[in-house]
Each structure stands twice: as structure tokens, then as C-alpha cells.
Amino acid sequence: MRRYAVANGCGRLVTLTYREGQHDRAAVKADWSGFARKLRARWPDLAWVRVLELHPGGHGWHIHAAVSRYVPKAELAALWGRGFVDVRRLRSGSGPASREDARRAARYVAKYVAKAWADGDRRPGEHAYEVAQGHAPALERLSAWGREGAVLAAVAVMGGELPAYRWDSDASEDWRGPPVVFAAWP
């Protein structure tokens, strides 16, 4: 989910709530589906990732989404039509939207996925989050000589940013497979 959000620049947060508490999870999902169809019709290039949250204090469900572009709050409110809409951009600086903005939004939305697991709000067989179709991150194939060359090629693709986490199979005495390097960016 975080990779999708960052790859699509989902650096703005949208929260949808109900005028009166909605306690039927299936109804919330159906409401989101209708809302998402309207979003797709109005902004076909809009990528989003959505999670549900059961509001503490018995106020019912609401929806958090990270979206990829500016969408006027008034238009979102008109499309939602069931209550309140909050829109904000998580800025890492004063300039245009950045990868860090998308990372912040992805972390924010991801915490609700983790919360759903911890609180038991997720139903068996149900997705913990949903993403807009047609915006899958592009696969990039890299060729390099050796593991260090592969890591350097990946760093170049990531704009020169070093990985936040790196694992090398040479460091594991228990590793029985082919040589592997795993690198992850936040």
C-alpha cells in the first residue's frame, strides 16, 4: 500500500464522515464504491488508497484516503453527500508536492490498516485497504554486474536516495538460496 501511494504521489489526505454515525461496515463500503465511481468519472487520473476506521467512542465508521492530486473540497463534499469532508496536504516543505509528502500520507493511512488488524476490525477474507485501479506502480527492470552494482542501479532509480533498510544473504549463516540483496526505501 505504501509503495502504491508513493509511486502515485498520493500526498493529500481526505477524510469522509457521516452526518449521523454509520455503524454498518457493509453500507460504508458500498457508499465508498459509489463515491469512487464518481471520482473516476470526474477525475480519471486520480489515484487513491482508502482505509476504513471505526471511530472511537461509538460514533461509527469513517473513511480515510490518500489521493494523488488536488481536488476541491466543495466538489468532494458534493460527490460524497453523506456528511463531512476534510482535505489536507501533508507537506514536507513549502514547494510542490514531493515523494516525502506521499510517504507521510502513506504512513498516516497505513496506521489505520495496522489499527484494524490490532483492534480486530478486519473481517476474514476482506481487504484491509483498497486502491484505485489502473495506477499500479511501473515495474522497472535493472541490469548490473554483482550485488553492489544492482544496489547502485536501484539507488539511481530512487533519485540517489539510499535505502532505509538493506539485507544481504551473505550476512545470514542460515541462508540456503541463491545470493540475494534486499533493499527498501521508506
- Domain count for the chain, please give it: 2
In a domain, 26, yes or no: yes
| Structural contact between residues 53 and 119, judged by C-beta atoms closer than 8 angstroms | no
Is residue 119 domain-shared with residue 151, that is, in the same domain? no
Is residue 73 domain-shared with residue 158, that is, in the same domain? no
Rounded Cα distance between 155 and 162, Å, is: 6
- The pLDDT of residue 18 is 94
Is residue 5 scored above 90 in pLDDT?
no
In a domain, 163, yes or no: yes
Q: Distance between terminal CA atoms of the chain? A: 12
In a domain, 137, yes or no: no
Is residue 175 domain-shared with residue 87, that is, in the same domain? no
Q: Which residue has the cell 541462508?
A: 175
Is residue 46 domain-shared with residue 124, that is, in the same domain? yes
Residue with more model confidence, 164 or 93 = 164
Taking the whole predicted model, whether its pTM rises above 0.85 is answered as no
Work out the average pLDDT over 142-146: 88
Is residue 96 scored above 80 in pLDDT?
no
In a domain, 109, yes or no: yes
What does pLDDT average to over the chain?
Answer: 84
Residue with more model confidence, 4 or 49 = 49
Q: Which residue has the cell 488536488?
A: 70
Is residue 126 domain-shared with residue 154, that is, in the same domain? no
Is residue 112 domain-shared with residue 20, that is, in the same domain? yes
DSSP-assigned states of every residue in 58-103: TTEEEEEEEESS---HHHHHHHH-SS-EEEEE--SSSSS--HHHHH
Rounded Cα distance between 179 and 166, Å, is: 14
| SS3 (DSSP) at 55 | strand
In a domain, 140, yes or no: no
Most confident stretch, 28-42, 123-137, 159-173: 28-42
107: phi then psi, degrees, rounded to nearest 5: -65, -40
What band does 17 get if pLDDT is binned at 50, 70 and 90? very high
Is residue 65 domain-shared with residue 155, that is, in the same domain? no
Domain region containing 164: 146-184
In a domain, 136, yes or no: no
pLDDT in tens, 20-62: 889 998 899 999 999 999 999 999 999 999 998 888 777 889 9
Residue with more model confidence, 106 or 84 = 84
Sequence-separated (6 or more) residues with CB below 8 Å from residue 95: none
Q: Kindly state the percentage of the chain with pLDDT values over 90.
A: 32
Closest-CA residue to 39 (of 88, 72, 11) = 72
Q: Domain holding 16: CATH number?
A: 3.30.70.1910
Is residue 53 domain-shared with residue 12, that is, in the same domain? yes
Is residue 84 domain-shared with residue 10, that is, in the same domain? yes
